[in-house]
Chain A
Amino acid sequence: MYVPAIFLQSTNFIDYCYIVAFSLFIYGMSGLTGPRTAVRGNLIAATGMAIAVVATLLTKHIWDGSATPWLIVAGMAIGTAIGIPAARQVHMTAMPQMVALFNGVGGGAVALIAWVEYRHRFGGNYTLKSEIPTLFAATIGSISFWGSGIAFGKLQAVLPSRPLKLPGQAVVNGGLFLVTLASAIVLAAGVHSQALFILGILFAAALLGNMVVLPIGGADMPVVISLLNAFTGLSAAATGIALNNTAMIVAGMIVGASGTILTNLMAKAMNRSVPAIVAGGFGGEVAAPTAGDIDRGPVRSTTPDDVAIQLSYARQVVIAPGYGMAVAQAQYAVRDLEKALEGKGVRVLFAIHPVAGRMPGHMNVLLAESQVPYDLLKEMDEVNPEFARTDVTLVIGANDVTNPAAKNEPGSPIYGMPILEVNQSKSVIVLKRSMASGFAGIENPLFYEPETSMLFGDAKQSVSEITAAIESL
């Protein structure tokens, strides 16, 4: 009995477990390259995590202290009790908020751990090697926690999604950053009023997290969420260095890499640089006086019956969904429309812009939920050449991502952003509640083009009416 216990508790055994764990993370993530292997990939990664946690719980002395076992068990039980229901009940439309929330608690955990580590290691045997990563983790973790909180508030519409900007924001942010940096340097140099400075770091970083995300408009949310995801990952990797834990280093770094890749993809899809987004302000200050002055001509409106006829006689129809479709809960109606058209022998494709939802890949999840076959979902580069061959394009709740001004009006605030070139198709039908401008507050000349007609009303109801009309043809 005794010998296996020693073996299981040996540092060697536990370190090997960590190696197994991070290998499983990497292997699991590589399963995400295809929808068929993805579920298994996620399970493999989860197994890796289970191994890492169990190995940690086997570590010698970890249960020492009268309160320790209770607190560990209680903490994990409470976390499970909160995490599982949240994960099971969340609606797919609310996924960005959920991810922001999970990301935030991760960042918060990093900041708290760094804080404790600092408190009781300082002054003693505390080398720069663990001190610098700890300070880094405290800063980034705190930024991530508060920034994710604000992002959650904006996505959940608890906070206004328009950019909130203070005068002199850049100066304030710069100042906060300097305070954080200065506190970190003072601490690392070994000045002994450590309690004050670690609080200074956590507090300044918290303010910074708030200040950086508050001025960012809702349209930029996919970038913000990806960026905060990368931050939490990097802070976890830093904690891993401080604690000599290989599983944490590798896991954190993979998340950092993934977050960075997604951030760049999203920023590229919006033709914006990450620093410009973080510096804030999109949409809010884009007053559209010039756009309003141009007389773009009349707007044609149409009826569900006319649309149904047009669609039934088409050979190829492309549906370009936007977040508005999800807001109207129209995914299921759209799936029914797709089925009805398929029944008539019409080829239907879905054109998915990278920033069509509120986070990377969000639209795909929403359509997958309503059981649209994923091979009909085409990415922007894949679908753009198709528009010339398309008879009718249905734009449902999307606006800015179809705005041709991004291609041919150099003065437009979104000029240069890659778009779905829906105006290349023979005719375009835009389903829209009213003529109000999109999320970014930019007028869309697409609506005034001769091949475009507008179908005003609630997206879900309009789509159902079209489907009914097609079926009765």
Chain B
Amino acid sequence: MSLVTEIAILVLAGFVGFAVISKIPNTLHTPLMSGTNAIHGIVLLGGLLLMHEAHGWFEHLLLTIAIIFGTINVIGGFFVTDRMLEMFKRKPEPEPTADAPAVDGEADGRPEIEK
């Protein structure tokens, strides 16, 4: 692909990004940030694409670390965003008392409630 094409994609993506992101309300800015965080984990692809070209143990090591980092970024990012967004979606029903255990299978989500 030519550089001009790629710069064109870059610029257009920038405008699309600005248009989409500026519509997101303040309430959701933390999930937005962790979600976009997960998306830049796409650098993982770079590690995958280069691995077979690597020479010697050192480059293999660097790329393996890059793949580990990228995977943490992608997987962790999407998971944590999902966890946060579920809390926003959750309907605030008549709530059980503070010391009742979470019954909806969300046991992972909440910090321990001290009494």
- A residues in contact (CB < 8 Å) with B: 22, 25-26, 28-30, 32-36, 38-39, 41-43, 45-46, 49, 52-53, 56-57, 59, 61-65, 67-68, 71-72, 74-76, 78-80, 82-84, 86-93, 95, 98-99, 102-103, 105-106, 108-110, 112-113, 115-117, 119-120, 129, 225-226, 229, 232-233, 235-237, 239-241, 243-262, 265, 329, 332, 335-336, 339, 352, 354, 357, 359-362, 364-365, 368-369, 371-374, 377, 379
Contact = CB atoms under 8 A, between A and B. Distances in A.
A310 B3 CA distance: 67
Given A79-B71, A83-B76, 5 more contacts: A30-B23, A80-B71, A83-B71, A236-B43, A339-B95
A238 to B, nearest CB: 9
B88 A374 contact: yes
Contacts of B49: 56, 59, 62, 243, 245
Contact of B33 (A42, A253, A260, A360): A360
Given A33-B23, A71-B64, A372-B92, A233 B83 contact: no
Given A98-B80, A251-B39, A368-B87, A91 B111 contact: yes
Given A88-B108, A129-B3, A253-B17, A99 B37 contact: yes
Contacts of A84: 75-76, 79
Nearest to A225: B33
Contacts of A252: 40, 42-43
Say whether chain B's binding surface is mostly helix, strand, loop, or mixed. helix
Contacts of A247: 42, 45
B103 interface: no
A233 B42 CA distance: 10
A262 to B, nearest CB: 6
A87 B73 CA distance: 10
Contacts, number: 375
A255 B37 contact: yes
B37 A229 contact: yes
12 contacts: A33-B25, A35-B27, A64-B52, A65-B51, A79-B71, A83-B73, A83-B79, A108-B69, A117-B46, A120-B53, A233-B36, A241-B6
Interface of B: 1, 3, 6-7, 9-10, 13-14, 16-18, 20-55, 59-60, 62-90, 92, 95, 98, 108-111, 113-114
A30 B36 CA distance: 12
A435 to B, nearest CB: 26
Contact of A251 (B1, B18, B42): B42
Say whether chain A's binding surface is mostly helix, strand, loop, or mixed. helix
Interface centre among B60, B77, B83 (most CB of A within 10 A): B77
Nearest to B3: A129
A45 B38 contact: yes
A247 B3 CA distance: 15
A113 B46 contact: yes
Contacts of B32: 29, 32, 258, 262, 360-361
A229 B36 contact: yes
A248 B30 contact: no
Given A38-B89, A87-B75, A255 B84 contact: no
Contacts of A251: 39-40, 42
B38 to A, nearest CB: 7
A109 B20 contact: no
A361 B28 contact: yes
A261 B95 CA distance: 36
B21 to A, nearest CB: 4
Contact of B84 (A52, A57, A365): A365
What are the 9 closest A-B residue pairs judged by CB atoms, nearest first? A79-B71, A257-B17, A361-B29, A75-B67, A83-B76, A87-B79, A360-B29, A83-B75, A253-B13
A259 B36 contact: yes
A30 B20 contact: yes
A259 B24 CA distance: 13
B48 A106 contact: no
Contacts of B90: 368, 371
A256 B80 contact: no
Contact of B13 (A46, A225, A243, A250): A250
Nearest to B65: A112
A75 B78 contact: no
A259 B77 CA distance: 15
A116 B71 contact: no
B13 A83 contact: no
Contacts of A229: 33, 36-37, 40
Contacts of A28: 35
Contacts of A113: 43, 46-47, 50, 63, 66
Interface centre among B9, B43, B62, B114 (most CB of A within 10 A): B43
Contacts of B54: 65, 116, 120
Contacts of A254: 13, 16-17, 20-21, 36, 39
Given A83-B71, A84-B75, A245 B45 contact: yes
Contacts of B81: 42
Nearest to B18: A257
Contacts of B53: 120
A261 B21 contact: yes
Given A30-B23, A255-B39, A246 B9 contact: yes
